[in-house]
């Protein structure tokens, strides 16, 4: 049995004999069909994003990239000789993600999947003559896309980091110390809420004054990002102590530590994707600092309880 499958390309009207004939293996055809589906998925996704963009230049760029992806789809179709359906689940997921987490994060995450496809393209470049053009198009459109995206939230990553880091380090340490000094979830939660809200207001005000002193015209917005990041972190850290019974303070402490690690993980992953920064080093640094302070505060809390003879019933 012949190991090759003869593929005769079709023109846009579906008629045979468009003047291009290729012989590819069944395995390669299957691989090209997957890439064909990815290109069509990307084309529809970029088109959906373009339709809701207000900035005309950004919209035109996304429309251009959408057309380029569609062109790549047509190229692969000339080899496979058949149409494929787009990945509707991926289109919905990344479209929703772009609304919630921002276009930059969603598109860069989507492009990471296409980067894997580019490696595959290089592997079959010698066999298929059209591959070199598609590689150039893919690399050029990604560079153009990333260069033109300008999202407000990314301008305030520094302010978010300030609120997040300070809350994680300061409040994690405070709660860790109070947990074993008070041994009562409600008292720990009350202390954490009072400390957290006060620190939120203090941090936001300090950030505002610092930005104003620098002559930053967006000082108020910057301080708002810092305050919101701090307050949301406070809520996440204190929540286990509000939900669990008073006597389960050890469990509440364990859940709090897990929440802290998850917050650090999620935030650093977001920043690493959106800003092309190293993930593991930044993640390791934040975990080490936050948990190191928590461990030290935990020991201080135990020592204070013993030395002062405090026993909260």
pLDDT digits (tens, 9 = 90+) for 163-180: 787 788 778 888 888 887
Do residue 126 and residue 203 come from a single domain? no
Based on the fold, state whether residues 173 and 304 are members of the same structural domain: yes
Shared domain check, 191 and 53 = no
Whether 93 and 216 share a structural domain:
no
- Which pTM does this prediction carry? 0.66
Angle of CA points 102, 104, 108, to nearest 5°: 125
Counting residues of the chain whose pLDDT is more than 90, the rounded percentage is 17
Which segments of the chain are extended strands (E)?
5-10, 16-24
Contact present, 117 and 26 (Cβ < 8 Å): no
Rounded Cα distance between 47 and 64, Å, is 9
Length of the chain: 313
Contact predicate 301/179, CB 8 Å: yes
The whole-angstrom separation of Cα 201 and Cα 287 is 25
Quote the pLDDT of residue 275: 73
Pairing of strands 16-24, 5-10: antiparallel
More confident residue, 62 or 93: 93
191 shares a domain with 161: yes
Check if the beta carbon of residue 251 is closer than 8 Å to that of residue 244: yes
253 domain-assigned: yes
Q: What is the pLDDT of residues 83-133, one digit of tens each?
A: 999 999 999 999 998 888 888 888 888 877 665 555 666 666 666 766 777
Whether residue 24 is contained in a domain is answered as yes
Residues 209 and 243 in one domain: yes
Q: Are residues 91 and 164 located together in one domain of the fold?
A: no
CATH code assigned at 108 = 1.20.1260
Last residue of a domain, one of 98, 121, 150: 150
pLDDT given at position 183:
84
Question: Considering the chain, what is the average pLDDT of its residues?
Answer: 78
Q: Is residue 313 part of a domain?
A: no
**Structural domain boundaries, residue 41:** 5-150
Residue 70 predicted with pLDDT over 50 = yes
How many other C-beta atoms lie within 10 A of the C-beta of residue 188?
Answer: 29
pLDDT digits (tens, 9 = 90+) for 235-270: 999 999 999 998 899 999 999 989 988 888 888 888
My answer on whether 13 and 133 are in the same domain is yes
CB 149 within 8 A of CB 214: no
Q: List Cα–Cα distances, 97 to 38, 59, 90, 135, 164, in angstroms.
A: 18, 18, 10, 27, 22
Same domain? For 139 and 195 the reply is no
Q: What percent of the chain has pLDDT over 70?
A: 78
Looking at residue 248, its pLDDT comes to 92
pLDDT band at 41 (very low <50, low <70, confident <90, very high): very high
Positive or negative torsion for Cα 258, 277, 226, 93: negative
CB–CB of 282/271 below 8 Å?
Answer: yes
More confident residue, 86 or 75: 86
Task: Determine the average pLDDT of the residues in 72-86.
Answer: 88
Q: How many domains does the chain have?
A: 2
CB 62 within 8 A of CB 44: no
Asked whether residue 243 is domain-assigned, the answer is: yes
């Amino acid at each position: 049995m012949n190991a090759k499958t003869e593929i005769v390309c079709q023109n846009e009207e579906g008629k045979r004999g468009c003047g291009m004939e290729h012989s590819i293996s069944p395995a390669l055809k299957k691989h090209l069909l997957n890439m064909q589906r990815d290109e069509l998925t990307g084309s529809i996704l970029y088109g959906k994003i373009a339709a809701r963009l207000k900035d005309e230049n950004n919209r035109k760029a996304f429309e251009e990239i959408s057309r380029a992806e569609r062109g790549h789809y047509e190229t692969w179709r000339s080899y496979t000789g058949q149409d494929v359906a787009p990945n509707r689940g991926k289109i919905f997921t990344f479209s929703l993600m772009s609304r919630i987490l921002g276009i930059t994060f969603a598109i860069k995450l989507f492009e990471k999947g296409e980067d894997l496809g580019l490696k595959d393209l290089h592997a079959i470049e010698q066999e298929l003559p059209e591959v070199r053009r598609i590689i150039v198009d893919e690399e050029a459109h990604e560079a153009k896309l990333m260069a033109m995206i300008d999202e407000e939230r990314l301008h305030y990553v520094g302010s978010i980091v300030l609120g997040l880091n300070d809350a994680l380090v300061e409040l994690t340490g405070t709660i860790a110390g109070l947990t074993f000094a008070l041994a009562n979830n409600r008292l720990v939660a009350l202390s954490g809420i009072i400390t957290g809200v006060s620190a939120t207001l203090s941090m936001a005000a300090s950030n505002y004054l610092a930005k104003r002193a620098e002559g930053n015209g967006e000082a108020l917005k910057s301080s708002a990002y810092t305050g919101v990041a701090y307050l949301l972190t406070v809520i996440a850290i204190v929540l286990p102590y509000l939900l669990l019974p008073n006597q389960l303070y050890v469990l509440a402490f364990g859940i709090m530590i897990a929440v802290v690690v998850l917050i650090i993980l999620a935030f650093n992953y977001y920043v690493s994707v959106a800003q092309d920064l190293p993930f593991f080093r930044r993640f390791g640094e934040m975990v080490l600092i936050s948990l190191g302070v928590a461990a030290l505060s935990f020991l201080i809390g135990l020592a204070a309880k013993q030395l002062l003879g405090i026993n909260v019933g």
